[in-house]
Each structure stands twice: as structure tokens, then as C-alpha cells.
Amino acid sequence: ILFAAALAAAVPLAACNTPSERAAGGALVGGATGAAIGAAATGRGSGALAGAAIGAVGGAAVGAATAPR
């Protein structure tokens, strides 16, 4: 289910080509995925927030790094 949600969020962002667009898309997907994992792992809202923050930063970094040049 989590993979399907991430895929559904990533498909509309597939045409983004600039590093800033890719970073924004990566932050969205990473933040949502991180929040889901953090909530599932801890069962608390603070875990979801921490997961979202870590996921958004990681997703933005990966998105910007994978932008076509």
C-alpha cells in the first residue's frame, strides 16, 4: 500500500526536469513516506513528524541530485 501511494505521488512529478522541481517532488514523496514509516514504527505523532522531516530532507536531496543536466 505504501509503495502504491508513493508511486501515485511520483508519477505526476515524472516530467519535472529542473533540480528545484525534482527537489520539491522528492521532498513531497519523502516526507509522506517518512511520516507513514515514523508513525508505524513509533505509534506516536512525534514519530510521524520526525519521519516526515527526515524523509523530506532525504527526498529533496535525492530529487535534486537525480535531475537531468
Average pLDDT over residues 43-58: 94
Inter-residue contact 24 to 43 (CB < 8 Å): no
Q: Which residue has the higher pLDDT, 9 or 19?
A: 19
Say if residue 59 is exposed, middle or buried (CB neighbours under 10 Å; 0-12, 13-18, 19+).
Answer: buried
Residue 60 contacts residue 31 (beta carbons within 8 Å): no
- Would you place residue 33 in the very low, low, confident or very high pLDDT band (cuts 50, 70, 90)? very high
Q: Is pLDDT above 60 for 13?
A: no
- The pLDDT of 2-9, averaged and rounded, is 66
Cα–Cα distance between 36 and 17 in angstroms, integer? 27
